[in-house]
């Protein structure tokens, strides 16, 4: 078994290898992979060590066109170099919001991405919280679909929050939020019914359930512009909640996301490091904060390294992955 890092995932890969060494007694460190670029942006990956007859694990979130192309070229290079299997460890699988044709004559991007990854030679994928779990059916190779709730449960428990209410921000997040409730037997459940007129724009929202005098945690898979979370936090606080926090496995944080976060009524937004740019954005916002400008103080990044390391360990030892997803 050998583990390699994409150009955007060096820190996460280092952390995964460290956990495998310390907790699971697997002597491993990131493999040597050089990713060159021509001046026009063309990507040239080069393995600097043999991968012949090896089980290759490659860590890279497919969050942009560049990372997707880089991943495809690396799969091709590994297969041509004679690797036995190629597992893509993609904490955030891009284009997962395009799982069906919601609009006339639109694409199904998640199906296309699955097809081209398999065609390149990927033999397994490990990912966390696909936007729609049905996307697993687009793949003809094994899909290890990890439950992102496990990344945040310990953090919430350590905060010892009383009078807890878990909220699903829309109908699509109900299952994820109810699964999260299993870890907190005393918590109550509520949901928000929202009407969207176009992507990233909410027409109206209404709360289904009681939050008066409660500490609320909104559970979702993705935080993009944070427009929805900002409106949701205002709605919940206006309905009498004591505090409101939010959990999102994937911190996309596009557009004015951090500005929306700082001007929202959220006490805290918890995201994982599945998307590397979220760490960079928090760092840049902290620098702004030193100059008296509001930064990303409400943003709390919790690493997904442990759940990924466990899944790699289970696969290498041919153990069942099922227990990883039990909350």
Residues forming the active site = 194
Contact between residue 170 and residue 221 where contact means Cβ atoms under 8 Å apart: no
What angle (nearest 5°) sits at the alpha carbon of residue 229, between those of residues 225 and 232? 145
Distance CA 164, CA 146 (A): 25
Contact between residue 269 and residue 232 where contact means Cβ atoms under 8 Å apart: no
Contacts of 246 (CB under 8 A, 6+ apart): 217, 218, 219, 220, 223, 229, 232, 233, 266, 268, 269, 270
Sheet holding 85-90, edge to edge: 2-5, 55-59, 85-90, 124-128, 143-146
Distance CA 200, CA 231 (A): 12
User: What tokens does 246 get?
Assistant: 């939010």
For 159-202, the DSSP string reads HT-SSEEEEESSGGGHHHHHHHHTT-TT-EEEEEEEEEEETTEE
Task: Read off φ and ψ for residue 55, nearest 5 degrees.
Answer: -85, 110
């Amino acid at each position: 078994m050998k583990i390699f890092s994409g150009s955007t995932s060096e820190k996460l890969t280092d952390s995964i290898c460290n956990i495998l060494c310390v907790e699971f007694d697997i002597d491993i460190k990131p493999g040597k992979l050089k990713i060159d670029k021509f001046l026009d942006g063309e990507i040239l990956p080069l393995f600097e060590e043999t991968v012949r007859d090896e089980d290759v694990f490659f860590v890279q979130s497919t969050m942009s066109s560049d990372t997707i192309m880089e991943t495809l070229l690396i799969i091709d290079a590994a297969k041509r170099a004679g690797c036995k299997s190629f597992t893509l460890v993609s904490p955030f699988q891009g284009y997962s919001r395009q799982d069906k044709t919601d609009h006339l004559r639109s694409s199904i991007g998640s199906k296309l991405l699955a097809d081209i990854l398999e065609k390149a030679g990927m033999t397994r994928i490990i990912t966390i919280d696909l936007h729609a779990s049905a996307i697993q059916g687009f793949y003809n190779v094994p899909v290890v679909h990890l439950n992102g709730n496990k990344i945040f449960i310990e953090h919430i428990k350590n905060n010892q929050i009383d009078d807890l209410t878990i909220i699903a921000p829309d109908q699509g997040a109900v299952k994820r939020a109810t699964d999260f409730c299993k870890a907190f037997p005393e918590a109550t459940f509520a949901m928000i019914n929202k009407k969207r007129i176009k992507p990233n724009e909410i027409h109206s929202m209404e709360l289904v359930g009681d939050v008066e005098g409660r500490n609320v945690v909104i559970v979702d898979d993705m935080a993009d512009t944070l427009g929805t979370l900002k409106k949701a936090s205002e709605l919940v606080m206006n309905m009498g909640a004591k505090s409101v926090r939010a959990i999102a496995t994937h911190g996309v944080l596009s557009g004015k996301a951090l500005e929306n976060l700082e001007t929202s009524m959220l006490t805290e937004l918890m995201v994982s490091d599945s998307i590397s740019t979220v760490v960079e954005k928090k760092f840049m916002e902290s620098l702004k904060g030193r100059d008296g400008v509001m930064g990303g103080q409400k943003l709390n990044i919790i690493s997904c390294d442990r759940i990924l390391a466990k899944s790699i360990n289970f696969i290498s030892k041919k153990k069942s992955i099922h227990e990883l997803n039990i909350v």
